[in-house]
Structure 1
Amino acid sequence: MAQEEFALPLEEEEGRSFDEQTSSSSSFLSRFLIYIGAHELFSQEMWKAAMTELVATALLIFCLTTSIVSCLNSHQSDPKLLIPFAVFIILFLFLVVTFPLSGGFLSPIFAFIAALHGVITFTRATVYILAQCLASILAFLMIKDAMSPDVADKYSLGGCTIRGTGETPGLSVTTALILEFACTFVVLYVGVTVVLDQKMSERFGLPMVCGMIAASSAVAVFVSTTITGRAGYGGVGLSPARCLGPAVLRGGLLWEGHWVFWVGPFAACVVYYGFSKNLPNGVLVGAKGEIGILKMVGGRCWRRRRQKLRENVDQL
């Protein structure tokens, strides 16, 4: 009898412990889903924005790639000097148009750094990145159909290459990785710092901010294609999604060292995030508030998203 009386409280204690563990696990899962913004999977607005990113990124990649190949295939004495001008003009136009619609990310690196700073949720960033990768494949399907076979073979369909073949040697994987990291960091430092600095972005305005992002990207492309002097190296990718499309469709040489075009930019994002958190005067705005340029071109939209997130947290 004494053993039964002793066993009963023990069973109740085990039951309470199990319930507490289950409740704790459920609470952790709920907090995690809130943290990554899983509720946005049911947001019609997010899917519309993702579709905008898909269309805009596909058109951007198509225009950029065909323009760069046209510059290289021209009869100019040094066609590489034309590339940064083409990159600047095309990227500037697409940024100005797309910023008010979806935020104008157009590249996985911008979506990822925005998620790190709390500007968008990780769920939204993931959907955007998948949309951009699909956009790259669609863009290069159009390019493959339009480009002549000889030009496609000569320039590897305009894809991201590290090494050439035969008489056109390229770079080592280590050198290509360093260039990818450094050039991406330059774009983040010049472009994203201005966007995240509320006072600076409001003072410059949308056209100037888009111009700085486009200019830093053009400089990065120009430096990477000229400083190496290796014909087999196609320059920095700056957008892993852009490098994925031709690799999927053409394969072969484009898969060689393809990981560099992913690891380099994403590593630069992580390092830049740590760097930006230690800037003086605390000028950058992260998850605490709206960043300047997005406040100007889409403040209401971003406020509604945060309000919806707060409502979901309150319900839980």
Structure 2
Amino acid sequence: MDSFISRESDHSLLTRSSVENHEATILKERISLKATFFDCIGVHEFSSPEMWKAAFTELVTTALLMFILTASIVSCLDSHETDPKLLVPFAVFIIAFLFLMVTVPLSGGHMSPVFTFIAALKGIISLARASIYILAQCVGSITGFLILNRVMNHDAAKTYSLGGCTIDGNGSTSGVSPGTALILEFCCTSVVLFVGVTIAFDTRRSKELGLAMVCVVVAGAMAVAVFVSITVTGHAGYAGVGLNPARCLGPALLRGGSLWHGHWVFWIGPCLACIVYYGFTKGLPKEGLVWEEGERDLVNLAAPALCCWGPRSQPNGKVLEIVTPSH
């Protein structure tokens, strides 16, 4: 009898020890998974001086871009040409090309949440860096428009809503509906992504063309998108596509009013375009492309998570718990 009780006790101790060891293993896996997750999203970059230098570069260049680009566009529209809108794409092309040439080697030349978002989806930059870049771009936009608001003629600032993104005019001119503006924002952003970003993210073709030609293609795609958007609707109250949500944010915060009407369009449209473009690139022929994709590509990030964040079993095969990412 004592022998039987002893065997039962030993078996109970072994079972308890096995469960404790398994729980310890799960705890280690949780810690490892958390560390891997932080590494994947690039948390370590928050302590990198180079990342902060690049983000500051994005802030400064975005502020300068908003100031120069908006002032140039307003000058074009306020000129006495027969059709001043036709001058706007040329201004966009020249200014975008010059800024891209300077900033691409420094910070990647994003200057827009659109390019930052698609770069994060493709894994070219980490999610941590992308979040700081977008914040820097928004602050840069606000700074640039603060300067512009200070120096621009009051009547011109009122007439052109400080160069902001409007869809329904300022009361004296007719605009377009939010649905129409969303379609245009999505389509025009998709054109820029397909024509410009496809070239920029193709390492082989980028090397063959060189920095100058890649910047010409990207700036040209932006100019064409702007030209189409400001001419196709025939409504003077529609200011054209934003292509850069940060550019629309600055004037909306400073001037308010009609600039907030449909403001969401200039964020949702480009974001949808980036997501659709990202999915579209997964089905492109691989023979002619050498994609610049990083380990932080969205699919590469999601695959391990789907494998690891699943049900874990006890030694006896029964499900012990569902391991989820800790907050």
Q: Which band: TM-score by shorter chain?
A: 0.7 to 0.9
3-state SS of paired residue (2:31): helix
Q: Deviations over 1:163-202 (max 9, x none)?
A: 1243412111111011001000101111111112222212
The verdict on how the C-alpha distance between 1:11 and 1:190 changes in structure 2, with shifts beyond 3 A counting, is same
Q: Which amino acid aligns with 2:105?
A: P
Following superposition of structure 1 onto structure 2, how do residues 271-310 of structure 1 map, counting pairs within 5 Å? 271-280=276-285, 281=287, 283-287=289-293
Letter in 2 for 1:286: E
Q: Which of 20, 24, 37 matches 2:25? A: 20
Q: Secondary structure at the match of 2:198?
A: helix
Q: For 2:233, what is the secondary structure of its paired residue? A: coil
Give the whole-Å Cα distance in 1 for the aligned partners of 2:97 and 2:293.
Answer: 26
Question: Which ranges of structure 1 fall in alignment gaps of 5 or more residues?
Answer: 290-316
Match of 2:124 in 1: 119
- Unpaired segments of 5 or more residues in structure 2? 296-327
Counterpart CA distance in 2 for 1:173 and 1:241 is 18
What is the aligned counterpart of 2:219 among 208, 214, 224?
A: 214
Match status 1:108 vs 2:108: no
Q: Which residue of 1 aligns with 2:71?
A: 66
Q: 1:41 to 1:271 in 2, by over 3 A?
A: same
Report if aligned partners of 1:60, 1:94 keep a CA contact under 8 Å in 2: yes
Deviation at 1:22, TM superposition (A): 2.2
CA distance in 1, matches of 2:179, 2:290: 32
Cα pair distance change 1:111/1:288, threshold 3 Å: closer
Q: Which has the larger radius of gyration?
A: 2
Counterpart check, 1:132 vs 2:173:
no
Cα RMSD, aligned residues only: 1.8
- Distance between the aligned counterparts of 1:109 and 1:27, measured in 2? 33
Q: TM-score, normalised by structure 1?
A: 0.86
Partner-residue secondary structure (3-state), 2:251 = helix
Q: 1:82 aligns with which of 83, 87, 92?
A: 87
In structure 2, give the amino acid aligned to 1:140: F
Rounded to whole Å, the distance in 1 between the matches of 2:204 and 2:293 is 16
1:103-128 CA distance string (max 9 Å, x none): 11111111111122221111111111
Counterpart pick for 1:148 among 153, 158, 161:
153
Q: Which one has the bigger helix percentage?
A: 1
Count of aligned residue pairs for this structure pair = 289
Of 21, 24, 40, 2:45 maps to: 40
Cα distance in 2 for partners of 1:4, 1:114 equals 60
Q: 1:250 matched to which residue of 2?
A: 255
Structure 1: 4+ residue segments shifted above 4 A: 1-11
Out of 90, 96, 120, which is 2:101 matched to? Answer: 96
Does the aligned pair in 2 maintain the 1:184–1:268 contact within 8 Å? yes
CA–CA distance in structure 1, aligned partners of residues 214 and 224 of structure 2: 15
Residue 9 of structure 1, CA deviation: 4.8
**Contact preservation (8 Å) 1:193, 1:284:** no
1:183-237 CA distances to partner (integer Å, 9 max, x unpaired)? 0010111111111222221221111110111111011111101111111111000
Aligned-partner Cα distance in 1 for 2:189–2:22: 50
AA partner of residue 180 (structure 1): E
Greater CA drift, 10-19 or 96-105: 10-19
Q: 1:268 aligns with which of 264, 269, 273?
A: 273
Instruction: Report what 1:226 is aligned to.
Output: 231
Question: What letter corresponds to residue 151 of structure 1 in structure 2?
Answer: A
Structure 2 CA distance for aligned equivalents of residues 285 and 53 of structure 1: 24
